[in-house]
Chains A and B, each alone.
Chain A
Amino acid sequence: MIAEKIKEINIASNKITHKTEEQKINELLDFINELKKDIRHLTSLYENLESLLFSIQDDEPNEVIENIDILNEIITLTFSLIANYKESTIYSGIKTELIKLSLIVGTVKEIRNDVIYKYQTSKTKKHQAVNKKLAELL
């Protein structure tokens, strides 16, 4: 939906010179509305991220791994936003914000990989403990 909207805006921007003032304003208003929706979605995702970060701090890898799709969604959505806005004519206006966002998402990706590694390690430890106990009982 976001990608389609941005394409529409790009097409609209290319044709902007042929449009009336009112059309331009309406398109910009639509664009702002979409942007606000994207930002709201991202904000809610980043709020979830915040609570996941607290779970990591509290050393609860299970909690995080169960919500790993939130991290994946943040990564996918942010990358697609960055890619789409780069194609947009408004890119130069929000370049700094996009760079900041790509830095954040890079960190999110690292966190996700760390969490998965930590979870797998703790799972392996649990598995080894089960095997040890089984070997004693069998």
Chain B
Amino acid sequence: MIFFSIKKFDFQANKLTKKVKDGYKNLLHDITTFFENKNISEIFETKTTLEFIDSSHNIALKKVRIPNSNQKLSSRDGYRLIFIINKEKETVYLLYVYPKTGKYGQIDIKPNETSIFTQNLLSAIEQNNLSPRNLSKKLLIEE
């Protein structure tokens, strides 16, 4: 499975993991755990599909719950990860992540934000500005 992220995700991940005391230090590890040992179909079927990007329903915009191991929070109180998944090409594009609780806790994304995420991804592809990430290296950006 191939992973990419957009700058919005990179910025948010950096911000959250920067300080240990904020309780988000394990973010990338927790996201890795979510994807590890799952095949593309299992990930594709995970709740929630926000929308299908293509007419044949092979590409979906997803919002999933991820536990926060750092603060020992369940998936309900942990993080929400927004990504686009292409089932045929086995590719995942990480778009945004936010915690439900703590210093940077966020209740939800705004209804119009989904269109901003897709627009962000389109711009990143057009400008060749995607960050490749490696699941076997805890989703760190590959140089």
Contacts and interface: CB of A to CB of B under 8 A. Distances in A.
Interface of A: 123, 126-127, 130-131, 133-135, 137-138
B125 A131 contact: no
By secondary structure, the B interface counts as mixed
B86 A138 contact: yes
B103 interface: no
B89 interface: yes
Interface of B: 51, 53-55, 59, 84, 86, 89, 91, 93, 112, 115, 118-119, 121-122, 125-126
A135 B59 contact: yes
A123 B116 CA distance: 11
Contacts of A127: 115, 118
B15 to A, nearest CB: 26
Contacts of A137: 122, 125-126
A134 B118 contact: yes
Nearest to B55: A135
B5 to A, nearest CB: 14
